[in-house]
Amino acid sequence: MKKRVEPTHCDTCGAREKSVFCSLSPDEISDVDASKSCNFYAKGQVIFHEGNRINGIYCVSKGKIKLFQIGNEGKEQIIRFAKEGDIIGYRALLSEEPLSASAATLEETSLCFIPKSQLLKLIANNPNFNFKMLKLLSHELGEAAKVITELAQKPVRERLAETLLILRQTFETDENQVIQVKLSREEIANIVGTATESVIRLLSDFKKEKLIEVEGRSIKIVNIPALTRVANIFE
C-alpha cells in the first residue's frame, strides 16, 4: 500500500510556495531535500495513530488528509484537514507529547517526512521560519477556540451550514462550483459533531431551500449569503 516514490524535490514542489517552507534559502531547501523521505499513500490509509510518538513531521505534497480523534464510544471526531502545502504532526513533535490525533488520507496522497532534527534546525537557525511556526500554532489555537464555542452553543443546523462554508473555503471549488473534497455523510457528521442521519436530513433540507445542490458526495453551495445567514455567522 504505502510505497516509497521518487522523492519530489522541494524546489520543484508546487506545494512549497503555499507552505511554511516558502521562504527557505536555497541551501536550506536542499538540506531539507536531503533529509526527507517521500511516500505515496492510497485513499483511506492511516498515516499515524493517536497516542503514538512521532519523530518528524509530514508535509503534504499532493492530496488531502483528515486528522481525527477517537472518542471513547469509538466515534471519530474530525479535528482538522490538511491539503497540499500543509504540514501535520508538528503539534506532537513540538509539545513532545504523544500524537493527539490520527491522520488518514481522503484520497491518493503524496507525503514527505521531515525528521525532527531537520525541523528543529530550521527553527533554531531561521528566525523567519520559526516565526511562521509560532504563527501557525497560534492561528490554529484561535481556530480551535472558535470551534469550541460553536460546538458548545450552536444547534446542529447552524454548525452544518458553517461546516459546508468552511469546507468550501478550505478545499475550494472546481469550475462547476463543486467543493473539491469527497466526504461520506458520516465524515461530515464527524466534523459537525452530530449523527449521520441528522446530516442527511439537514442536507436534504438545505437542498429543498435551494441553498445547496447535492449529487452523491459532490456538494455545491448555490446561495452563499443565505447559507451564511443559516450558519449565523457575524464575526
Partner DNA sequence: CGCGCGATTGATTCGGCTCAATAACTGTGG
Partner DNA sequence: CCACAGTTATTGAGCCGAATCAATCGCGCG
Please report, as ranges, the residues that interact with a second copy according to CB under 8 A. Answer: 51, 69, 71-73, 75, 77, 79, 90-97, 100-101, 123-124, 127, 130-131, 133-135, 137-142, 144-154, 193, 232-235
- Name the pairing type of β-strands 102-105 and 64-70: antiparallel
67 within 8 A of 44, measured Cβ to Cβ: no
The option from a second copy, DNA, none interacting with 69 (CB < 5 to 8 A, set by class) reads a second copy
The option from a second copy, DNA, none interacting with 135 (CB < 5 to 8 A, set by class) reads a second copy
Task: Return the closest-CA partner of residue 157 out of 84, 232, 214, 62.
Answer: 232
# binding residues, DNA (CB under 7 A):
19
Cβ proximity to a second copy: between 10 and 231 the closer is 231
Asked if 203 touches DNA (CB under 7 A), the answer is: yes
10 within 8 A of 32, measured Cβ to Cβ: yes
The option from DNA, a second copy, none interacting with 11 (CB < 5 to 8 A, set by class) reads none
Interface mask (CB under 7 A) for DNA, residues 151-190, using x and -? ----xxx--------------------------xxx----
- Rounded CA-CA distance 40/156 in Å is 36
Find all residues with CB under 8 Å of 60, minimum gap 6, and list them.
15, 82, 83, 84, 85, 86, 87, 88, 109, 110, 111
Give me 140's grid cell: 490554529
Asked if 197 touches DNA (CB under 7 A), the answer is: yes
We find the least distance from the C-beta atom of residue 1 to a second copy, in angstroms, to be: 27
Burial environment of residue 202 by CB neighbours within 10 A (0 to 12, 13 to 18, 19 or more): buried
Interface mask (CB under 7 A) for DNA, residues 39-68, using x and -? ------------------------------
We find the least distance from the C-beta atom of residue 113 to DNA, in angstroms, to be: 27
- Name the pairing type of β-strands 3-4 and 87-88: unpaired
We find the least distance from the C-beta atom of residue 175 to DNA, in angstroms, to be: 21
- Rounded CA-CA distance 100/68 in Å is 9
- Which helix (DSSP H) or strand (DSSP E) does residue 131 occupy? helix 127-153
Cβ proximity to a second copy: between 5 and 94 the closer is 94
Residues in contact with DNA by CB under 7 A are 155-157, 184-186, 193-198, 200-201, 203-204, 214, 216-217
